[in-house]
Amino acid sequence: MVYLLLILFLGGGLAWLSERWHPQAPRWVALGAVSFALLYLAVAVMRLPAEHFSLLPAATQPDTWLAHTRLEWIPRFGIRFELALDGLSLTLVALTLLLGLIALSSSWSEIDQHSGFFQANLLWSLTGVVGVFMALDLFLFFVFYEVMLVPMYLLIAIWGHEGRAYASMKFFIFTQASGLLMLVSIVVLAYQHAQVSGSYSFSYFDLLGSPLDSSLGFWVMLGFFLAFTVKLPGFPFHTWLPDAHTQAPTAGSVLLAGILLKTGAYGLLRFTIPLFPEASLEFAPIAMALGAAGIIYGAVLAFAQSDFKRLVAYSSVSHMGFVLLGLYAWNSIAVQGAIVQMVAHGLSTAALFMVAGSLQQRMHTRDMSRMGGLWLNAPRMGACALFFTMASLGLPGLGNFVAEFLVLLGLFQVAPRVAVVAALGLVTGAIYSLIMLQRSFQGPGDPERAVPDYGGREMATMLLMIALLIWLGVYPQALLDLTQPTVDSLLSEAGS
């Protein structure tokens, strides 16, 4: 696992340096690094015995995890370099690397200035995300959480569009401020643990089930919750997202929507709820209300947009509402739904951002009032947009349906009223998705307009995502089986 991080980190450095050698070299170096990391992961997973995947990853037994590494780092405070991998982490790491490839493909011809530094930032951001999904020492987790943030800030601030300064600043301040709350919470948690046990530790395994005064527990939980909900983003902490997404270069949007948002969901699932089960239970009605509000609010605002990218950004707010609902419903079906949503949304939204990016590159606008009838000029792009629109509105047979269905089904068992409100999202989701398609690709068009259709590289990327979404939609069982042990163990850890 350390090698995985090193490959990405060093690959980033190498990509930066390679620009001196040839202006096109960085993207090849980056592609090589991500591909190698993916290959490395695949081989490592392949070599694990099959029965290992059905073990429950127990907190007390590191060897029940798929992989586990523990190195001393700052022994005085009990801070260790501790990484572990279970089905959930593996899924998200694989998704990260895959979307890394897709981000590279989407920016293949888009970036022509400082391309070395661009690719370096892309890879460093990936390093941070991969680290976040594997770190099980809370201090280390926080470090990775920050590591992914800074390169992403630079990606938006340097290679973004016209309003990049405002957007990148907003992004940075929102995530940084909420990250600070998390740091305070982590320190308080570790201090409390030291008071009880006599020694400092930031290890997830030690802190799980560490007794905490209930009122203090609530505040510490809130620190974690806020940090992750800002990242998710949950209503009403989402306002950084439309700006950041709209201004980011395509690769930035792909990474941001595809995986950075998922670190918020992952944090809630891995840390917030299991570390503070009672406080979370108490807080669940509020979290669910925020989730349901986000679904409807995001959908209405998406409908109100005229900027293609902003529309997709608000649709993310709506979709992430389902994740929040699934997590706080806290039963096996709903949590699995939330996990599938993380993956499916990662793919479908990344693809829609790619479409948006290609349109911007070709037409130099994101304004849908200047589009329309593009099917005429670029039918292949139109077909891709149609497919991902259908995925985004939750058409059965595609991954997003499985996710939303499981979330709502699980949620209905614990909070039927919230489920009724959230089910409205099925209707509102259809409204904004179809309007988006109409304004960009359908309607009367101009056959003379110079909008080149997708070429081989773009089609290959799109077909890969299409295939994955269909696979997730008709045979989600493979993913469900992979993550089921983690879900079971988390559920039993925190009680249902």
Binding site for another protein (CB under 8 A): 235-236, 238-239, 242, 297, 300-301, 303-305, 331-333, 336, 373, 375-376, 383, 390, 395-397, 401-402, 405-406, 408-410, 412-413, 416, 419-420, 423-424, 426-427, 430-431, 434-435, 438, 442-445, 474-477, 480, 484
Q: Which of helix, strand or coil describes residue 73?
A: strand
**Cβ closer to another protein: 216 or 304?**
304
CA distance 322 to 487: 17
Smallest distance from another protein to CB 233, Å: 11
Q: Judged by CB, which is closer to another protein: 75, or 447?
A: 447
Residue (247 or 336) nearer to another protein, CB: 336
- Beta carbons within 8 Å of 371's beta carbon, 6+ residues apart: 308, 359, 363, 365, 439, 440, 441
Tell me how far, at minimum, the Cβ of 134 lies from another protein, in Å. Answer: 25
Nearest to 407 by CA among 287, 325, 319: 325
* Three-point CA angle 263, 399, 482, nearest 5°: 65
Cβ of residue 460: shortest distance to another protein, in angstroms?
Answer: 13
**Cβ-contact 490, 274 below 8 angstroms:** yes
Question: Nearest distance from residue 377's CB to another protein, in Å?
Answer: 12
Structure-token pair, residue 188: 């308080």
**Residues in a beta bridge with 238:** none
Cβ 451 to another protein, closest distance in Å?
A: 15
Encoded amino acid at 26, one letter:
P
What angle in degrees, to the nearest 10, is found between the helix axes of 87-106 and 456-474? Answer: 160
Report the distance separating Cα 407 and Cα 326, nearest Å. Answer: 5
Closest CB to another protein among 115 and 483?
483
Shortest Å, Cβ 455 to another protein: 15
| Closer to another protein by Cβ: residue 140 or 376 | 376
To another protein, the closest distance from the beta carbon of 224 in angstroms equals 21
Nearest to 493 by CA among 190, 275, 176: 275
CB atoms within 10 A of CB 430: 17
Comparison of 85 and 419: residue with beta carbon closer to another protein: 419
How far, in Å, CA of 483 to CA of 91, rounded? 8
Return the number of the residue (204 or 441) whose C-beta is nearest another protein. Answer: 441
